[in-house]
Amino acid sequence: MFAIPRLARWLGPWADSTRSPAVDVRDDLLDGMRVRIYGKRHRRARTYLIAPGLHYAGPDDPRMDRFCRILAAAGHLVVAPFIPAYLALMPDATAIADFAKVAAALPRWSDARRPVVFSISFGSLLAFALAAEHPDAVERLVIFGGYSDFHETMRFCLTGEVVSGRAAIRDPLNQPVVIMNLLDHIDLEQSAREALVAGWRRYVERTWGRVEMKADRRFVAVAEELAPTIPEPVRELFLVGIGARPGATELAMPALAKFDARVLDPTPYLPRVRCRVDLVHGIDDDVIPFEMSHELARRLVAADAHVHITGLYGHTGSQRPPLSALARELVTMVRVLRVMA
């Protein structure tokens, strides 16, 4: 009964996002893959299995670490794996297999028979695949900012265009990662490709999680600083991929049209998910448009699906809504916190 107030203390619009609760944290290895466990093992603890988003730091990302600590402080045991393909920013079928491996190993860390699977962003694919392929291994799903169509998500990351025609703002910092995943369809020598990917990764490590980089194209200064370290033959492509030079859309869209996204498509899994699914999405999400949660709910034909659209939480952190909307948003927040309690 005390879980909701504990969550609200740290996740409400009044919370200091630079602070997090002190909880037990330890790392384990599963066939060479790091797995982080938050909280203490006990019979009454509900287990949350985290399906992480695409991020080079995984649970080491301060925002994800803070969220896992908050769940643990509310009395839950939290298991957060470092999925290698997602750490590499190159999602593929191995990510689904690795996540299923962690789910199968849960008795090592938890006494719960089935976990609540909480996914973040592109981790929604891992959550849906697990629930479809191993229905007895999942109590329910909480999908935060999930995607329904990989190609449309990549298109949004490149152009900011939403199928509905709604005016939306995209996160410009993700663009080089999109193009990184399309390099099989862009003519490059292998050595040049490796240097380019390494440079984009350094750029991402310098900019992600820093909201100020999105304003007034401040990310361009980081790109210009790193450019001299990139081999001259691909230096211009490095800058184009980041958006420091024009031409990214013209470069990427033909490659995206050729990209085979079948292993990253959640569609085949959705009709086979039969548990409760809570789809939480920030209305101002600048990575995955919130309309995709409605589309996911429509396709979850056998699940008990609930959609929660909120202005309190964007893709990368909490947002303060206008005062006129605060009461409505707080009602939504309570619904969301009840889901996580």
Q: How confident is the model at residue 310 (pLDDT cuts 50, 70, 90)?
A: confident
CA–CA distances in Å: residue 280 to residues 107, 325, 335: 28, 18, 10
The pair of three-digit structure tokens given for residue 317, joined into one six-digit string: 């952190």
Using CA of residue 136, residue 139, residue 145, residue 148, what is the dihedral sign?
positive
Question: What is the rounded CA–CA span in Å between residue 136 and residue 131?
Answer: 8
Burial 74-113 (b: 16+ CB within 10 A, else e): bbbbbbbbbbbbbbbbbbeeebbebbbebbebbeebbebe
DSSP one-letter code for 11: H
Residue 215 tokens read as 């304003």
pTM of the predicted model, to two decimals?
0.90
Task: Give the pLDDT of residue 120.
Answer: 96
pLDDT digits (tens, 9 = 90+) for 238-289: 999 999 999 999 999 999 999 999 999 999 999 999 999 999 999 999 999 9
pLDDT of res. 314: 54
Structural domains for the chain: 3-149+265-340 (3.40.50.1820), 160-258 (no CATH)
How far apart (Å, rounded) are the C-alpha atoms in residues 90 and 43? 37
Inform me whether the pLDDT recorded for 327 exceeds 60: no
Which two three-digit tokens encode residue 129?
């695949």
- pLDDT tens for 141-156 read 999 999 999 999 999 9
Can you give the pLDDT at residue 45? 81
- Helices within the chain (DSSP H only): 3-11, 62-73, 84-87, 93-104, 124-133, 150-159, 175-180, 190-207, 219-226, 232-242, 248-258, 291-299, 323-340
Distance CA 158, CA 176 (A): 9
The pLDDT tens digits of the residues spanning 61-113 come to 999 999 899 899 888 999 999 999 999 999 999 999 999 999 999 999 999 88
* 128 Cβ contact partners less than 8 Å away, ≥ 6 residues apart: 141, 143, 146, 266, 269, 270, 273
Which sign, positive or negative, has the C-alpha torsion 269, 272, 275, 280?
positive
